[in-house]
Amino acid sequence: MSDKKEKLLQVENLTMRFGAKGRQNTVIHNVSFDIAEGETFGLVGESGSGKSTIGRCILGLYEPCGGTIRFRGDTLKPGEMRREIQMIFQDPMASLNPRKKVGDIVGAGLDIHKMYKSREERSERIGAMLERVGLSRVQADRYPAQFSGGQRQRVGIARALIMEPQLIVADECIAALDASIQAQIVNLIRQIQRETGTSFLFISHDLSMVRYLSDRIGVLHRGFLLEQGEPGEIFANPVHPYTRNLLASIPSPNPIIQFHPETHYDYETSGIVYENGTWHKTGDSDTHQVLCTNEEYEKWGIGK
Amino acid sequence: MADKAEIMLEIKGLDISFRSAGEMFHSIRGVNLVLRRGETLAIVGESGSGKSVTMKAAMGILPDNARINAGSILYRPEPGSEPVDLLKASPKWLRDNIRGKSIAMVFQDPMTSLNPTMTIGNQLIAAIRAHEKVSRKEAADRAVTLLEEVGITEPERRMRQYPHEFSGGMRQRIVIAIALSCNPSLLICDEPTTALDVTIQDRILELIVSLQQKRSLSVIYITHNLGVVARVADYVNVMYAGKIIETGTIFDVFYDPRHPYTWGLLSAIPDDASGEELYSIPGTPPVLSKEPAGDAFAPRNPYALEIDFKEEPPMFRVSETHYAATWLLDERAPKVERPKALNDRIEKMKKEAAEYVR
Ligand SMILES: Nc1ncnc2c1ncn2[C@@H]1O[C@H](COP(=O)(O)OP(=O)(O)OP(=O)(O)O)[C@@H](O)[C@H]1O
Ligand SMILES: Nc1ncnc2c1ncn2[C@@H]1O[C@H](COP(=O)(O)OP(=O)(O)OP(=O)(O)O)[C@@H](O)[C@H]1O
Ligand SMILES: [Mg+2]
Ligand SMILES: [Mg+2]
């Protein structure tokens, strides 16, 4: 998409089905997108639309049923896990083993991949990483219960970062935190990105955060990627009826101003068949694209 | 915002400690809260400030290592009935009459409230039949309608699936459907829509509002999303370190916040203009294994006065509906302005609101 920077991740025609043979349910339909080096791609969309499933396919936790995922040009084997691709989980409480010291949690990946030569090197790297994410070295000997929600989320970030990943999949990693700690974590993500050029796939329902953090945004519905573009483009000029409905539903922190979408978007009655759509540029740029038919392109007044 | 509806829930001086790793943590340090029938009250605040624990106390589901030091939770199940202290009620009475009956609760983590080995259809049917003598068939029909109401498509097929076959947000909607199936008088929602996208969230909020009108349901809504608070709540309580530090109508708190912690929280919401660092409150929350000297927020409070480090501020009255626990409201305190960025934002919101109303 952006040709200035090299593509780090290329997802092409990703397809995923669940269920026993005969009554399979396709949850990801031919999804394609890419993420450049140092870029944050925000993935938004209805719950159940397949965001986590896409993330899990990229991480190698699910074997895709079709399509290819390329990382630095190499095609990942289905289910292949790469040290360079790491994940930050949603629930900082549930994702940390309560009986392990935080230092060992952060160092677990180092142990698995034998990424050190001596005990000293190991503890040095863990200590440095804790400081990196705004914790202190002495906290390596403490247990998760002794940390606050925001601090635990920092531990989760440290655990991912210590593997020196080039891509981090962050699936709802700030949802459970209060606004101030969310801001703290988002600032930390941006700082890390500036310093290391790590790319992020940022999955979130919080559209104002996605807008703030992402270089580009993809809108997913029922397993189809419907629209993608830069935050300014998507927010100023949403094209797909689903995207428009999504943006109209964001609650405003201004009590008197509460817009509601006039009608709820209903795929069944919308007359739109996602299978028939192809990618169309919206005209205002190369980055802003929408999945639709030629008729819909005219009808939605995209070309103007 | 019914003026003088009857008080249905009143929490007075709630004080709870936890024993953990051989130490006592004083997690709830005197919570007071009033909910009138038919109203929606939101609780916001720091992660770990005690929002969930307060509600768990009301439901009688505190973990074993919790100790209630003081307080009462007076609850009136029916309009006009005598209030009952839920903290003194027997576990059996709470189970038979309150939990999942008169008071329904939607928890933060939906997985903990679903049975992984039972199809969600059977779970819904069981929940419905636990409260009403209806046939299996009738309960199944009701279950399908409820699933539709919370926005689950193809409900008939979904009834036959197990929890792990649903996405996080879909599970949460099922939990909401189960909570609503028992026709509660009070619905306590603990981060019910965090896992949901905004369109479904909007539908669930609308559903709750319409139920409120139909059956004068009261709602306590715990959330970190200040947009959701602005949309659904009548009143807001802001919690910090086991205390409610500011309380008022949503207009009081969003347009005229008085506590520096509330200032910080409102400042952290991302603005439309991106690019800059987001504001976040400096420092870390206190560890409540020892009593904070003075105001628990003082060490992180850029506006702290000398007295903040010595003595806890009481609740000061701003107006009939609006109270805040900060020494800045004491008549002897120096005049302190809200941070400029926040003031600008509030002025902008007020201006937008004025135009919107016109
Ligand atoms: N292990 C599984 N077995 C069967 N179906 C699954 C499985 N995992 C996911 N699904 C289905 O795939 C679809 C997409 O789920 P996914 O978890 O990717 O959604 P999501 O977009 O992450 O939603 P949320 O925002 O609620 O987390 C859903 O219909 C879900 O029921
Ligand atoms: N089982 C427990 N054992 C020990 N301490 C606990 C336990 N449950 C809660 N606490 C402590 O009580 C305090 C309040 O927790 P609570 O879950 O009510 O926070 P919260 O305000 O709901 O936070 P969040 O917004 O993150 O959900 C926290 O400091 C927490 O560590
Ligand atoms: Mg998900
Ligand atoms: Mg909680």
DSSP SS3 for B83 = coil
The answer as to whether B279 is a domain residue is yes
Q: Is there a contact between B82 and B67 (Cβ–Cβ < 8 Å)?
A: no
What was the pLDDT predicted at A1? 45
* Cα-based distances in Å from A20 to A25, A28, A277, B160: 9, 16, 28, 14
**Domain match, A191 and A285 both:** yes
The answer as to whether A151 is a domain residue is yes
What was the pLDDT predicted at A15? 96
**Domain match, A147 and A268 both:** no
The answer as to whether A204 is a domain residue is yes
**pLDDT of A92 over the 70 cut:** no
Residue B285 beta carbon below 6 angstroms from any ligand 2 atom? no
| Residues on chain B touching A48 (C-beta within 8 angstroms) | 166-167, 169-170
What was the pLDDT predicted at B132? 80
Q: Å from B51 to nearest chain A CA?
A: 12
**Domain match, A47 and A173 both:** yes
The answer as to whether A2 is a domain residue is no
The answer as to whether B345 is a domain residue is yes
**Domain match, A275 and A185 both:** yes
Please count the other Cβ atoms lying within 10 Å of the Cβ belonging to residue B339. Answer: 16
**pLDDT of A105 over the 90 cut:** yes
Q: What is the Cβ-side half-sphere exposure of residue A4, based on CA atoms within 13 angstroms?
A: 3
Of B109, B196, B198, the CB nearest to A246: B198
What CATH number is associated with residue A55?
3.40.50.300
The answer as to whether A1 is a domain residue is no
The answer as to whether B249 is a domain residue is no
What was the pLDDT predicted at A261? 66
| Residues on chain B touching A257 (C-beta within 8 angstroms) | 349, 352-353, 356
The Cα B20–Cα B96 span in angstroms is: 31
What was the pLDDT predicted at A2? 44
State the Rg of chain B over Cα. 21
**Domain match, A188 and A268 both:** yes
The answer as to whether B287 is a domain residue is yes
**Domain match, A121 and A76 both:** no
Task: State which amino acid sits at residue B93.
Answer: W
Please count the other Cβ atoms lying within 10 Å of the Cβ belonging to residue A133. Answer: 22
The answer as to whether B286 is a domain residue is yes
Q: Where are the beta strands (DSSP E) in chain A?
A: 7-18, 25-36, 40-45, 66-71, 74-75, 85-88, 167-171, 199-203, 216-221, 224-229, 278-281, 289-292
What is the DSSP secondary structure assignment for residue B271, as one 8-state letter?
A: P
Residue B259 beta carbon below 6 angstroms from any ligand 2 atom? no
Q: Is there a contact between B75 and B81 (Cβ–Cβ < 8 Å)?
A: no
Domain count, chain A: 2
The answer as to whether B223 is a domain residue is no
Answer whether B227 sits within 8 Å of A183, measured CB to CB: no
The Cα A85–Cα A63 span in angstroms is: 16
**Domain match, A177 and A144 both:** no
The answer as to whether B299 is a domain residue is yes
Domain count, chain B: 1
**Domain match, A282 and A241 both:** yes
Answer whether B270 sits within 8 Å of A265, measured CB to CB: no
Closest alpha carbon within chain B to A210: B270
Q: Which residue ranges in chain B fall short of pLDDT 70?
A: 1-3, 108-111, 193-195, 272-275
Answer whether B21 sits within 8 Å of A145, measured CB to CB: yes
Task: State which amino acid sits at residue A271.
Answer: G
Nearest to B36 by CA among B72, B70, B71, B83: B83
**Domain match, A203 and A279 both:** yes
Nearest to B227 by CA among A154, A227, A182: A182
| Residues on chain B touching A49 (C-beta within 8 angstroms) | 167, 197
The answer as to whether B156 is a domain residue is no
Residue A149 beta carbon below 6 angstroms from any ligand 2 atom? yes
Closest alpha carbon within chain A to B23: A146
The Cα B302–Cα B191 span in angstroms is: 29
pLDDT tens for each residue of A206-230 = 898 999 999 999 999 999 999 999 9
**Which domain does A39 fall in, by range?**
7-84+165-299
Answer whether A180 sits within 8 Å of B264, measured CB to CB: yes
What is the value of pTM for the model shown? Answer: 0.89
**Domain match, A252 and A183 both:** yes
What was the pLDDT predicted at B125? 93
What was the pLDDT predicted at A206? 87
| Residues on chain B touching A143 (C-beta within 8 angstroms) | 21
To test the ligand 1 pocket, which listed residue (B167, B176, B193, B198) has its Cβ within 8 A of the most ligand atoms?
B167
Residue B49 beta carbon below 6 angstroms from any ligand 2 atom? yes
Q: Does A261 touch chain B (CB under 8 A)?
A: yes
The answer as to whether A75 is a domain residue is yes
Q: Does A226 touch chain B (CB under 8 A)?
A: no
What is the distance in A from the centroid of ligand 3 to the CA of A247? 19
Q: Å from A178 to nearest chain B CA?
A: 5
Residue A51 beta carbon below 6 angstroms from any ligand 1 atom? yes
| Residues on chain A touching B264 (C-beta within 8 angstroms) | 180
DSSP notation for A177-236 = S-HHHHHHHHHHHHHHHHHH--EEEEE-S-HHHHHHH-SEEEEEETTEEEEEE-HHHHHH
Please count the other Cβ atoms lying within 10 Å of the Cβ belonging to residue B14. Answer: 25
**Domain match, A141 and A172 both:** no
pLDDT tens for each residue of A106-124 = 999 899 888 889 999 999 9
What is the DSSP secondary structure assignment for residue A162, as one 8-state letter?
A: T
pLDDT tens for each residue of A13-54 = 999 999 887 788 899 999 999 999 999 999 999 888 999 999
Residue B27 beta carbon below 6 angstroms from any ligand 2 atom? yes
Closest Cα to atom 3 of ligand 1: B165
What was the pLDDT predicted at A42? 97
Answer whether A145 sits within 8 Å of B20, measured CB to CB: yes
Q: Å from A160 to nearest chain B CA?
A: 22
Of B108, B205, B254, the CB nearest to A253: B254
* Cα-based distances in Å from B91 to B63, B81, B87: 13, 20, 10
The answer as to whether A275 is a domain residue is yes
**Domain match, A75 and A107 both:** no
**Which domain does B350 fall in, by range?**
256-357
The answer as to whether A202 is a domain residue is yes
The answer as to whether A61 is a domain residue is yes
User: What ipTM is given for this predicted complex?
Assistant: 0.84
Tokens of B145: 């309608």
| Residues on chain B touching A255 (C-beta within 8 angstroms) | 230-231, 250-251, 254-255, 353
The Cα A152–Cα B168 span in angstroms is: 21
* Strand A167-171 with A85-88, pairing: parallel
